[in-house]
Amino acid sequence: MVKVLIVDDSAFMRNTLSGMISSDPEIQVVGVARDGIEAIEKVIQLKPDIVTMDVEMPRMNGIEALKLIMEKNPVPVLMVSSLTMESAKVTLDALDLGAVDFIPKNLSDLSINIVKIKEILIEKIKSIARRGPAQFRKSAFPKQRLQMPRTDYTSHRKINIVAIGSSTGGPKALQNIISKLPKDFPVPIVIAQHMPASFTGPFAERLNQLSDIEVKEAENGEPVRKGVVFIAPGGGHMSLIRKKITETVIAVSEERKDLIYRPSVDVLMLSVVENFAGHVLGVILTGLGNDGLKGMKEIKNKGGRTIAESEKTCVVYGMPKAVVEAGVADKIVPVDEVAGEIINSV
């Protein structure tokens, strides 16, 4: 049984989250707290497996409570965040401090239906709780250029682009990887990280500040360029379109509303293969579900190379597991080794 503590100053949110979470027989809401001070007391008293933490609360806010919990009684924490630009920055701070992921506060505003939201939330809670508290302690990723020992891939074609997909736990994993890449990285990098529209811009800015390589939120119609990391905007899907023999541009669309995860890793990767054939390096990182499996299969089928993050460093071993079990991962490596593998592949 997974024990959950809900922390929120809104009675409506406490009741809504409690109702959604308690609908699963394997999850028990062991308590609620109305502010950060109560949260700290109840983490000690109730020993939950996972905590949902509101950001804005009286007496002590969620960030201050998170700091103290991670210092004294580490436990996986899911931040409950409003879908605003300002909230995005605070939530990204929380991820740096040790929070494992976030869930949206304004559930009714999301483009996916409430049943799917509940399914994703429950699966996320169960998957994260299984990892235990040690996985989620605050960790600093040193910024350095890496050289890994070269090993063989099944393909020896020249790599002309890197495509990366990630979800739950992805922001930390991407920070680890992108901050280690050199400024003169010789090919473009395109990334689909499951995030709301208001989060991807601040996330790209933060990665850009922490990295030597240029990182930006992708814009519709702009050409992909070597030495630039393009983060797919949230809320829709990013794909690549060949305009000329020498120019490939980014297309951002809100079509394909049938897809649960946005931006979709599969949509991005399949379009990359269409334009770069066997000269693609595909990387799949921590995340729930199997988004990216079709794309990674196609990269492999067309003669490209593939890397999956290993289970031991994944926050949720879902997306990489799907790729590994399908037999399409050339390399399975911990997140700390992914940057080195990318550098040595190009």
Q: Active-site residue numbers?
A: 167, 194, 291
- Take residue 155 and report the two structure tokens written for it: 């393909």
Element holding 341 (H helix, E strand): helix 335-345
Strand residues in the chain grouped as ranges (E): 2-7, 27-33, 50-54, 77-81, 101-104, 161-166, 189-193, 214-217, 228-231, 237-244, 247-253, 280-284, 305-309, 331-333
Beta bridge partners of 281: 162, 305
Are the C-beta atoms of residues 303 and 281 closer than 8 Å to each other?
no
Rounded distance between C-alpha atoms, residue 228 and residue 214, angstroms: 5
Amino acid sitting at position 330: D
Rounded distance between C-alpha atoms, residue 270 and residue 240, angstroms: 9
- Take residue 106 and report the two structure tokens written for it: 């304004």
- Take residue 131 and report the two structure tokens written for it: 């990892």
Q: What is the largest CA-CA distance in the chain?
A: 64
Pairing of strands 280-284, 237-244: unpaired
- Take residue 338 and report the two structure tokens written for it: 């992914």
Rounded distance between C-alpha atoms, residue 80 and residue 52, angstroms: 6
- Tally of CB atoms within 10 A around 112: 16
Are the C-beta atoms of residues 302 and 279 closer than 8 Å to each other?
no
Element holding 122 (H helix, E strand): helix 114-131
- Take residue 46 and report the two structure tokens written for it: 């109730």
C-alpha distances out from residue 290 to 1, 247, 260, 334, Å: 25, 31, 11, 19
